[in-house]
Amino acid sequence: MHGPAALQLTPDGRLKHLLTTEGLPKSLITELLDTAETFLSSQGQPVKKVPLLRGKTVVNLFFENSTRTRTTFDIAAHRLSADVVTLDIRTSSASKGETLFDTLKNLEAMQADLFVVRHSAGGAPFFIADRVTPDIAVINAGDGTHAHPTQALLDLMTIRKHKGDPANLSVAIVGDLKHSRVARSLVHGLRGMGCPDIRAIAPGTLLPADLAHLGVRTFHHIDDGLSDVDVIVLLRLQKERMSNALLPSEREFFNLYGMTESRLRHAKDNAIVMHPGPINRGVEIANEVADGPQAVILDQVTNGIAIRMAVMAMTLSTQQGSHS
Amino acid sequence: MHEIRSQKATEAALQNLINQVRDGYRGNSPLVVGIHTGGAWVASRLCEALQWAAPATLDISLYRDDFETSGLKRSGTTDRMPQQLNGENILLIDDVLFTGRTIRAALNVLFDYGRPGTIHLGILFDRGGRELPIEPTFLGESLGEEGVGRCKLHGPEPLMLMTPNSE
Q: Tell me the ipTM for this assembly.
A: 0.77
Looking at the fold, whether A42 and A143 belong to one and the same domain comes out as yes
Strand partners, A86: A60
Looking at the fold, whether A19 and A129 belong to one and the same domain comes out as yes
Task: Give a yes or no: residue A33 inside a domain.
Answer: yes
Alpha-carbon span A270 to A258, nearest angstrom: 19
CATH of the domain at A99: 3.40.50.1370
Residues in chain B whose Cβ is within 8 Å of chain A: 59, 61-64, 67-74, 76-79, 81, 83-84, 108, 112-114
Looking at the fold, whether A65 and A194 belong to one and the same domain comes out as no
* Structure confidence at residue A240 (pLDDT): 67
Looking at the fold, whether A183 and A313 belong to one and the same domain comes out as no
* Structure confidence at residue A105 (pLDDT): 86
Looking at the fold, whether A137 and A175 belong to one and the same domain comes out as no
Looking at the fold, whether A107 and A251 belong to one and the same domain comes out as no
* Structure confidence at residue A91 (pLDDT): 62
**Residues of A identified as active-site:** 68-69, 96, 118, 148
* Structure confidence at residue A308 (pLDDT): 97
Looking at the fold, whether A258 and A313 belong to one and the same domain comes out as no
Three-class SS state of A199: strand
Q: DSSP string covering chain B, please?
A: --EEE-HHHHHHHHHHHHHHHHHHHTT---EEEEETTHHHHHHHHHHHHHTPPPPEEE--GGG-S-HHHH--------BS--S-EES-EEEEEEEEESSSHHHHHHHHHHHTTEE-SEEEEEEEEE----SSS---SEEEEE--TT---S-EEE-SSS-EEE--TT-
Looking at the fold, whether A132 and A82 belong to one and the same domain comes out as yes
Domain count, chain A: 2
* Structure confidence at residue A324 (pLDDT): 34
Strand partners, B153: B161
Note whether B84 contacts A41, CB cutoff 8 Å.
Answer: no
* Structure confidence at residue A323 (pLDDT): 38
* Structure confidence at residue A94 (pLDDT): 61
Looking at the fold, whether A48 and A83 belong to one and the same domain comes out as yes
Which residues of chain A register pLDDT less than 50? Answer: 1, 322-324
* Structure confidence at residue A95 (pLDDT): 64
Which residues of chain B register pLDDT less than 50? Answer: none
* Structure confidence at residue A92 (pLDDT): 62
Note whether A44 contacts B67, CB cutoff 8 Å.
Answer: no
Looking at the fold, whether A127 and A153 belong to one and the same domain comes out as no
Note whether B62 contacts A38, CB cutoff 8 Å.
Answer: yes
Alpha-carbon span A205 to A241, nearest angstrom: 10
Strand partners, A143: A119, A147
Task: Give a yes or no: residue A102 inside a domain.
Answer: yes
Task: Give a yes or no: residue A324 inside a domain.
Answer: no
**A310: nearest CA partner in chain B:** B72
Looking at the fold, whether A139 and A191 belong to one and the same domain comes out as no
Task: Give a yes or no: residue A52 inside a domain.
Answer: yes
- What is the domain range of residue A159? 149-301
Q: Tens digit of pLDDT for each residue in A155-204?
A: 999 999 999 999 999 999 999 999 899 999 999 999 999 999 999 999 99
Looking at the fold, whether A169 and A137 belong to one and the same domain comes out as no
Domains of chain B from N-terminus onward: 3-23+34-162 (3.40.50.2020)
* Structure confidence at residue A89 (pLDDT): 75
* Structure confidence at residue B162 (pLDDT): 92
